[in-house]
Structure 1
Amino acid sequence: QTKLTFFFFSVQATELTSLGTRLTATESKTSDLEKENADLQTRLNSSESRIDQLETENAEKPKVAFYTALTDAGNLGPYNTDITLKYSKVFTNIGNAYNPSTGFFTAPVKGVYNLQFTVFGYHAGNIGVDVYKNNQRIMANWERNDNNYVPEYFTKSLVLELTAGDEIHLVLPSGCSIYDSSDNYSTFSGSLLFTL
């Protein structure tokens, strides 16, 4: 019976030693997992903080975009003097930087802007539009239409660095005409590409 008791205690001691070793290994793995979890939590918190920062920056950035058409009246011009074009049909005016009453786009912030216009002529001799920045002409555009029954188009784009308060407007030069109708042939649009 002593041998049996010794064997029983020997087996139990071996099992306890084995359980102790397994418990130590499990505790070590648990500690490693807790450290990995803490690292992941730190990275998640950092990512969430960066996302919050980017959302705040994006919300604070000005949003500027407009798209307009000229009129439903048909032909404008030719006149014997230059006329500021007032694109009265406003489809988009995010940031309210375009004023349809004056025809002026006013840059709300310093940045780089993309501007585009399309000119349509119908039953016209010369069609044309000049671009003015702060009442100084920076671009002249015109085209001669020798056949008054053939419609004429041209489209121009500009990328301009503007400071806050700079004004852009389009002018119908004397002797030229432009056409628009409910089909919106003659348009003026622009957007802020990025701030400076």
Structure 2
Amino acid sequence: MKISVSFTLWLLLGSVSPSECTDYQKSFPQDIYAALREMTASLVRLKADVTTLQREFLQTQEQAAQQKTEVDKLKQQQIVQQVAFSASLVPKDQRATTGPFPSLTTLIYKHVVTNIGNVYNSNTGVFTAPVKGAYNFEWWVGAFGDNSHGSGAWLVKNSDLLFMNFEQQADGFMSSSKGMTLLLDVGDVVFIRLQTNTVVFDDGGHHTTFSGFLLFPM
């Protein structure tokens, strides 16, 4: 193969006159250099175009992400402005007296009637604020008086005991209630703790309850 190619090349060169050969040798490198320069310029332009397209694509993605974030924020604002819950201590087909306990005990309200925004946890008895705002809470306690144990409970914000309702009598059914408005930050928790050495009663009449709702976000 090498001998055949060399022979063919020799024939071609032999058919070209010395002057033509010289002219060819002069023009051939120039044509290649010109072509290389043009190719290089084209590659530079192509690279610049690709860079521009990449930049525009990234900007489009960022704008789309920002728009999605804004839409999600608006949806979240609409959701968190709808917050309300109401629960009683035991289901309607049960009746139970809770307490007395030697220390403050968190009441877990199992019968959830309303839980808009899924803000109340019936496994822990804890309400968690989904948005900063003003919230209103109400809690009721009831029990049968026996002249030895009263009925009372604290509203607790995070770890702070705030307001307590309390009632005690010798006999008959006793109940008490209280309400409170709180300014809460996102993630603040609110729950009810049974006062030490007191009792609460609940049945299908739902005498011991805990309710709350968002007045307005801030």
Q: What's the TM-score bracket when you normalise by the shorter of the two chains?
A: 0.5 to 0.7
With structure 1 as the length reference, what TM-score do the two structures score?
A: 0.66
Choose between structure 1 and 2 for higher RCO, CA contacts under 8 A separated by at least 6 residues. 1
CA distance in 2, matches of 1:187, 1:139: 15
Q: Which residue is 1:90 aligned to? A: 112
With structure 2 as the length reference, what TM-score do the two structures score?
A: 0.60
| Per-residue deviation, residues 115-169 of structure 1 (Å, max 9, x unmatched) | 1111111144210001110021112332222x23x11111111111111101001
Asked whether the equivalents of residues 110 and 164 of structure 1 are also in contact (C-alpha less than 8 Å), the reply is yes
Q: Which residue is 1:115 aligned to? A: 137
CA distance in 2, matches of 1:65, 1:101: 17
CA distance in 1, matches of 2:125, 2:117: 15
Asked whether the equivalents of residues 145 and 174 of structure 2 are also in contact (C-alpha less than 8 Å), the reply is no
Give % identity: 35
Q: Greater share of strand residues, 1 or 2?
A: 1
Q: Which residue is 1:66 aligned to? A: 85
CA distance in 2, matches of 1:57, 1:64: 14
**CA radius of gyration, larger in:** 2
Unpaired runs of 5+ residues, structure 2, are 1-73
User: Alignment partner of 1:176: what SS?
Assistant: coil
Given the superposition, is the C-alpha separation of residues 132 and 58 from structure 1 closer, same or farther in structure 2, using an over 3 Å criterion?
A: closer
Asked whether the equivalents of residues 75 and 122 of structure 1 are also in contact (C-alpha less than 8 Å), the reply is no
Aligned: 1:128 with 2:152? yes
Unpaired runs of 5+ residues, structure 1, are 1-55
Q: Greater share of helix residues, 1 or 2?
A: 2
How far apart are residue 83 of structure 1 and its match?
1.1
